[in-house]
Chain A
Amino acid sequence: MSGKNRFEIERDELLGEEVWLARTSRGLPVRVVPTQRFRETAAVLYVGYGSTDLRFELEGREIESPEGVAHYLEHKLFEDEALAAFDRFSSRGARVNASTSFSRTSYFFTATDQIAANLQDLLHLVSHAHITEENVEKERGIIAQELRMYEDSPDFALFFDFLGGLYARHPVRHPVGGTVESIQDVTAEHLLECHRAFYRTGNAALAVCGPVEPEAILDLAEACALPEGDAVPVLRPADLGPIEAATQPAPRAREVPRAKMMLGCKDRDLTDDAEQRRHRQLMTDVALDRLFSAASEVREDLRHRGVIDDSLSAGYLCDASFGFSSLTCETDDPDATAAALTEVVQRPPRIEADYLERVRAKLLGRYVRSFGSSRGIASAQAEEAVHGLAPFQAMRRVAALTSDEIEARHREHFRAEALAQARLLPA
């Protein structure tokens, strides 16, 4: 195939946007959003490998890697034979960076010029792991400093205490970057094994948004030297059972002006189907919005009773191997706040028609806004591509929502036996 024939093109009439979809000959999914709306081009290479992929099978062996290895690898891939990756991007006026989460690592740049050189460079860096014992050792101190900075954050400590309470065995309980202790065990061999296991075209996707020619981007993407194939099987405990009292974190004393607490539930069943996860995410987000958005009379009542304040935030995070909701709040009386929130989440409110209409309008506004930057668009497209999700489906999902299924999702997720909490108390 050549030219436009190599692509499928999906359009969204409401937004007036289109996405060009293709695959390189090695099987790397590529999405391009060609637009003259932006002067800046953003490119995101998304790899479906994160901090929870610690145990896996590779070449007939079972491998157990230290906590924090995915984040360590992200650091090391920014170093190649020339040892000046940041300098090269800077010299082209580009900004480059990367981030690691529980289930993915993404590499990205934004630039207004020399897009081809920047993209080639990014693909080369991620495809070729230039890792030696010497340069792994050199990076250890820098990563340790980064981890110490996170550990100084009370919110960080609270979050991982909470996850430790929810999950006694699943590696989501560990900090994404590991700990200063765990990274001491990371070796060049670990990093190279993880790169071989997960950095594959079937476990990655590239998305580019900006004033670019899709054909030219696809030609450049052909240079991506990641090997073909899917990621290797990951071995994780399911860890879906009831919360275990023995693993509940004790309240921890920290130098904080007020107590902080987190409370939430974990899902008891999971799905490999990314579309079903999106639907579940949406239903849970709406269930939480109904209770805890600024428009909710439930939240206002809790505020008036003095058991929460505006520091309360609510969220839900899920992936193929975990899913949990969380409520985070500062409080003067953690017992009263925990009791009130526990009671509220276990009493599903009615999802009335006028609420559903309002939340649909709000989500439509949010969806339109999400197309406001080249970086945001490229990130969203890369994530959808790696999970095999079709573009422009967000509003279809919102339109299909029903009150009954949101209420059912609420009852199914917020169960007493699935609820954990963590607290930080002023020292």
Chain B
Amino acid sequence: MTSLLAVEGLSAGYGDTVILHGVDIEAERGELAVIIGPNGAGKSTLIKAIFGIVATHGGRVRFDGADITGAAPERLVAMGMAYVPQERNVFPTLTVAENLEMGAFSVRGRLAPLIEAQYALFPELGRRRRQLVGEMSGGQRQMVALARALMTKPKLLLLDEPTAGLSPKVMAEVFGHIQAINRTGIGVLMVEQNARLALEIADRGYVLAAGRNRFSGTGADLLGNRQMAEAFLGG
């Protein structure tokens, strides 16, 4: 059985600026994997390179058994990958229901059952289905962003700093939602600033620094690793 996602020796960057220098990561089916590291480590670039938004210079990305290195986002969505950007991840002048409908734009067939499934997972969105997303709070918008990405029934959800700019209370709620999504069997690969909280819920963690792998292991292993804790978790 191959991994759901396997990144091998991936190099990527913007134009002539190389940001990732041969990064390896893996995620199994249904796993919650977390990428942490200091600012500028290339965490977001890694996710964007996997999703085909940033050009890759070398290495390979395999998803669900197929080589997807450099594949376009539309193809990856059709294959079962979904991506939630850190910013601009909702349509603010559309209602909650319309955001979900747009999430499934490429899906053929009836959308109502899919939309109801998201409302079951996020009851608050069900109550606010006709509200404009631009009028909602940061945490609620993050829920919309997650639900929108789930509309294509992905096998793997890529999340770029889903708790950026949220208060600690809301942050915990969003982590709770991500765990709930993961419990339905959807694999999650998440970039996070809040390293300790993220590792606490992670099956697997990777620490990137300056575009290279520094540490990897289970979430608990990494939290217990003193060398790693001193360098990246503030002691």
Chains A and B form a bound pair: no
Interface, chain A (partner B; CB < 8 A): none
